[in-house]
């Protein structure tokens, strides 16, 4: 290879070009026949106004303001191995104290199925906690620590956020204690589907969020909580895509959980399963999209409307239903007492009924 390269270099050095008359090498196509009417020999770059450069925000001050209200949430739950043997599984997350009497907001997936919950303050003090209420639809939960006189967070207004604003995510990242990461707001009012459930009204941010950060606060530069860290998109080639539940949407959910232990919504009274080609073939369904009714609650709006197990709901209020999430969102977007039209398939027959939605009963009923 070295010899070949040397030969090429030698040959290149021996090339002799015949003498030629110098000529204009400017391509003729680039020379305008006449000057453009927009040519201005006197033009210069406009002067840039002298604006004082504002200093970057002090992350130290933000963390100092918000950190005392951030807690580590340690849980224990019963899990089962491949041989159905029970064992205790430990997990870690984060939470935000919102009241001096110990009310703490976190994610539903942080405390779901927990048989024991313990929280740890920034100074290392630990307390037992119990679940006040959970809401899987929004992935929010409220727990209460067995303590009083706790420092609590100041809640901001997420509707005032703008893309590009600095934010700080604080939480128990990787279960190694409270830490902080900074970033900016990337997008607002984002929807992300996780485990078949679509979370809405999310704030996308570049602040790094890792396992254990879930339930911790996303904080503005004024030290106010404007979001609750919940979801991260993690895959090869994807960076800087973390999501927080906007605090404006979380407020009424948290209020309901503390006031009554659950969230009141319109209720149809069915258990559902998303239809796909496999489900349609196994159950000999006439359609391969829709929401399959697997259970109808007694005395529910669905029961009174005549829906039965095995029906496939394909339209709700004039909107096509492809998945259970489509139907659930349609119900959530409705009003208690509203009469809705439902189109469904019963074997090979396409049928229509109406149901009057009622207020959802407590989950323990």
**Catalytic position from the list 72, 94, 135, 139:** 139
Residues 118 and 133 in one domain: yes
Residues 288 and 223 in one domain: no
Q: What is the per-residue pLDDT for 11? A: 38
Select from 236, 260, 284 the last residue of a domain.
Answer: 260
Residues 208 and 233 in one domain: yes
Residue 253: inside a domain, yes or no?
A: yes
Residue 229: inside a domain, yes or no?
A: yes
Residue 205: inside a domain, yes or no?
A: yes
At 267, list the tokens: 């209720």
Q: What is the per-residue pLDDT for 232? A: 72
State mean pLDDT over 183-203: 87
pLDDT at 14 over 70: no
Residues 99 and 192 in one domain: no
Select from 223, 242, 260 the last residue of a domain.
Answer: 260
Q: What is the per-residue pLDDT for 38? A: 82
pLDDT at 12 over 50: no
Look up 109 and say whether it is catalytic. Answer: yes
Residue 45: inside a domain, yes or no?
A: no
Residue 46: inside a domain, yes or no?
A: no
Q: What is the per-residue pLDDT for 307? A: 97
Look up 123 and say whether it is catalytic. Answer: no
Write down the pTM of the prediction. Answer: 0.77
- Number of domains comprising the chain: 3
Select from 93, 124, 145 the last residue of a domain.
Answer: 145
The pLDDT mean for the chain works out to 87
Residues 218 and 282 in one domain: no
CATH number where 133 lies = 2.40.10.10
Residue 44: inside a domain, yes or no?
A: no
Residues 355 and 299 in one domain: yes
Range of the domain at 197: 158-260
Tell me the per-residue pLDDT of 16-61, one tens digit each, with 9 for 90 and over.
Answer: 445 555 555 555 555 666 777 888 888 888 887 777 766 767 899 9
Q: What is the per-residue pLDDT for 9? A: 38
Residue 231: inside a domain, yes or no?
A: yes
**Catalytic position from the list 109, 242, 311, 334:** 109
CATH number where 318 lies = 2.30.42.10
Residue 364: inside a domain, yes or no?
A: no
**Catalytic position from the list 72, 179, 214, 300:** 214
Residues 92 and 130 in one domain: yes
């Amino acid at each position: 290879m070295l010899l070949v390269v040397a030969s090429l270099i030698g040959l290149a050095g021996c090339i002799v070009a015949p003498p030629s008359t110098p000529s204009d090498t400017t391509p003729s196509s680039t020379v305008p026949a006449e000057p453009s009417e927009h040519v201005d020999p006197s033009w210069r770059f406009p002067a840039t106004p002298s604006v004082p450069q504002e200093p970057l925000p002090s992350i130290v001050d933000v963390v100092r303001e918000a950190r005392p209200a951030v807690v580590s949430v340690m849980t224990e739950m019963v899990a089962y191995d491949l041989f159905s043997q029970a064992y205790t599984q430990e997990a870690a997350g984060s939470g935000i104290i919102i009241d001096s009497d110990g009310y703490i907001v976190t994610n539903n997936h942080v405390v779901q199925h927990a048989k024991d919950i313990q929280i740890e303050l920034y100074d290392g003090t630990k307390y037992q906690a119990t679940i006040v209420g959970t809401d899987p639809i929004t992935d929010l939960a409220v727990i209460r620590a067995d303590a009083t006189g706790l420092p609590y967070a100041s809640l901001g207004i997420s509707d005032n956020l703008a893309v590009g604003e600095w934010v700080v995510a604080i939480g128990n990242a990787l279960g190694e204690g409270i830490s902080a990461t900074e970033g900016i707001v990337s997008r607002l009012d984002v929807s992300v589907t996780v485990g078949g459930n679509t979370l809405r009204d999310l704030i996308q941010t570049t602040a790094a969020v890792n396992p254990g950060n879930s339930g911790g606060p996303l904080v503005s530069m004024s030290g106010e909580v404007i979001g609750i860290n919940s979801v991260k998109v993690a895959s090869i080639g994807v960076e800087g895509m973390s999501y927080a539940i906007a605090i404006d949407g979380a407020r009424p959910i948290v209020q309901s959980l503390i006031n009554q232990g659950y969230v009141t919504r319109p209720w149809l009274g069915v258990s559902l399963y998303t239809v796909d080609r496999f489900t349609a073939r196994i159950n000999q369904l006439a359609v391969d999209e829709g929401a399959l009714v697997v259970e109808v609650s007694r005395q529910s709006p669905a029961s009174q409307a005549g829906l039965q197990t095995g029906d496939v709901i394909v339209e709700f209020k004039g909107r096509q239903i492809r998945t259970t999430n489509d139907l659930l969102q349609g119900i959530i977007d409705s009003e208690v007492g509203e009469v809705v039209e439902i189109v469904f398939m019963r074997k090979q027959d396409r049928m229509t009924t109406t149901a009057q939605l009622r207020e959802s009963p407590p989950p323990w009923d």
